[in-house]
Chain A
């Protein structure tokens, strides 16, 4: 399919949206807003992929991000020194290092994007999702299966650590009130 002028406009608009909302992540003083500005940024990238005819990839990205960003928001609020995260607080630190790292990685990625010679591989079927499936389970199967097994190992490890009968003992230990029995001094 030949991209029309509307595609160029939409891709540019979503691209600018992704960059601006990524910038806003650091301009807000609320952890919830920061997490969801980051989600808006990812959703814009997903929308760009949809406009570029990679519907499946773009929509899966949006689908995954809703859960991931909520989990991130909860963890951010949980581990911050600011209980419940309800009070405003500054979201940035180590200014010089982060500015150098940010500008540096932007330049490297932009250089790769502009200078690299990408292979000219037009879609072989009408539906790019079919191409994607054949790529995942064909030529690139080893890469994705290795990544899949690695992720599975991480998941099993995480469950082993947090399970009720995990390696650190009964998860309910210490989380339940002791029995009220005067004189015994401990849980029975």
Chain B
């Protein structure tokens, strides 16, 4: 596939996935508005934000603010490039694809931290610091459980990892890894119950000062991030494009949509965790469990 084709594929996947995610989230959060209202909600919300004037603050770090807003969807796109969608080698199969994905997801920390810092305002800055605490606590378990799927496949290429699941999904072999992946993925996308950087207790945190097209871009970036994380989740744990009868790309779409709805559901139903407790949870619970996942998978692969 040509570079332009991969670019188009990533763009379509992220925009389509972001739409599905926003609709699912709307259905979870606003009960009683009906399915039809939820289906047009993303378009209504986007047009509202695009027409809204962009407010600013006193002496913001303007270039950094814009850069951080653009960086978030860009990182989601970089992460998505590594994931084959329709079949083997269709859509950028990079030999170290898993590491590319991990690097893109951890640089999200930089985007969010700068986005909180740049407005020169208190609540966004506290939100940015909170996100640093969150990501530094779960960054290692996140990377460990993603890289563990490379052990049985003996490759860092996402395509090879998908192919190696033709007999058995890694969800069955590494259930612990899948659960840790979903938890840490929600935290990296600052999505509930780990939406600490923009919690209601911070009056909105990092997005307090964002409005108009900037807020629209940021919201799209977060939704695109959820899509990339779900894409990778289904590729390394749910067998990706492998499946009977239906074409490969449709299986990818179905599995990704299932993960997106699952994340939207848990994000809206579970109680938010305090940041101190979350840091404890990351270092004391998730990190040892991720190491258990590594050791058990390594032992099974020997």
Contacts and interface: CB of A to CB of B under 8 A. Distances in A.
B107 A127 contact: no
B109 A56 contact: no
A62 B107 contact: yes
Question: Which one of A30, A36, A59, A86 has the highest number of Cβ atoms from chain B below 10 Å of its Cβ?
Answer: A59
B216 to A, nearest CB: 24
Nearest to B113: A70
Interface string A22-66: 000000001011001001000000000000000110011011001
B77 interface: no
What's the dominant secondary structure at chain B's contact region? helix
A184 B54 CA distance: 56
Contacts of B139: 67
A36 B109 CA distance: 12
Nearest to A63: B103
A84 B99 contact: no
B69 to A, nearest CB: 15
B120 interface: yes
A160 to B, nearest CB: 15
Contacts of B94: 55
Given A33-B64, A36-B114, A84-B125, A70 B99 contact: no
Contact of A67 (B61, B64, B109, B129): B109
B103 A127 contact: no
B173 interface: no
B136 interface: yes
* Interface magnitude class on chain B: 20 to 34
Given A32-B117, A59-B99, A39 B110 contact: yes
Given A32-B64, A59-B103, A70 B95 contact: no
A71 B117 CA distance: 14
A70 B68 CA distance: 14
Interface string A95-124: 000000000000000000000000000000
Given A62-B107, A63-B103, A32 B96 contact: no
A63 B143 contact: yes
B132 interface: yes
Contacts of A127: 95
Interface in B115-153: 117, 120, 125, 129, 132, 135-136, 139, 143
B88 interface: no
B61 to A, nearest CB: 7
A39 B71 CA distance: 14
A66 B109 contact: yes
A62 B132 CA distance: 17
A18 interface: no
B64 A55 contact: no
A60 B100 CA distance: 8
Contacts of B107: 62, 66
B106 A63 contact: yes
Interface in B246-289: none
Contact of B132 (A39, A59, A60, A74): A74
Interface string B141-170: 001000000000000100000000000000
12 contacts: A39-B110, A55-B100, A56-B96, A59-B96, A60-B99, A63-B102, A67-B109, A67-B136, A69-B110, A86-B120, A127-B95, A129-B156
Given A32-B114, A56-B96, A66-B109, 12 more contacts: A32-B117, A39-B110, A55-B94, A59-B100, A59-B103, A60-B103, A66-B107, A69-B110, A70-B109, A84-B125, A129-B95, A129-B156
Interface of A: 30, 32-33, 36, 39, 55-56, 59-60, 62-63, 66-67, 69-71, 73-74, 84, 86, 127, 129
Interface of B: 61, 64, 94-96, 99-100, 102-103, 106-107, 109-110, 113-114, 117, 120, 125, 129, 132, 135-136, 139, 143, 156
